[in-house]
Amino acid sequence: MTSLLLPVDLHQHRTLLIDLHTEYLGWVFAEIAKEFNLPEGSVAGMTVSEYIAAHLDTMYGESPASAGYYLLMLEDVVAGMAGWRTIRPGVAEIKRLFVRPVCRGQQLGQVALERVMAEAHAKGCHSVCLDTAPFMLAAHRLYETNGFRDCAAYPETEVPPAFLTRWRFMQRELE
């Protein structure tokens, strides 16, 4: 099967992005609630739908010169998403690398990670960082295999302060 990263067009792909983020963040918020022993629905102080409505336009409205977001396609199926954004001169952050469970096991995360790192490097970034939740063990393995090392939380992280001590932050240099 052939995979492809299709650049996101917020207007054309809005419904697909809402569906992907609903699936991804529904899982993330539920796992955070379990991990941190929080009442369901209290992770972000709003529902997943409200969170998506509040953040989707901001996230995908970034300048193409300083960010890149993609739909990960497997043939004609939307298999996931991946992105990067510049957080300060020379440093990019990997964002929303997600492969739907039914599409896993086909190296799609690897393909997406390589693409966003190459693009960030081509746009002048010399290093990349990311955050990953404690329950995202497959993601931890992917990042470790690709040379990411643990680092301190970086100032631009969107991880709420209450989660910082148990969250994982990673970085690597780009060649």
Each of the 175 residues of the chain gets a pLDDT tens digit; together they read 566 899 998 889 989 999 999 999 999 989 998 988 888 677 777 788 888 888 888 888 777 778 999 999 988 899 999 999 999 999 999 999 999 999 999 999 999 999 999 999 999 999 999 999 999 999 999 999 999 999 999 999 989 888 999 999 999 999 8
The tokens of 89 are what? 């001169």
Length of the chain: 175
Distance between CA atoms of 76 and 88, rounded to whole angstroms? 35
The span from the CA of 52 to the CA of 50, in Å, is 5
Contact 114, 85 (CB under 8 A): no
Q: Please state, in angstroms and rounded to a whole number, the distance separating the CA atoms of residues 25 and 22.
A: 5
Query: Amino acid letter at 96?
Result: R
Among candidates 79, 95, 85, 63, which has minimal Cα distance to 5? 79
**Among the listed residues 66, 107, 103, the one whose alpha carbon sits nearest the alpha carbon of residue 83:** 66
pTM of the model: 0.91
Q: 3-173 belongs to which CATH class?
A: alpha beta
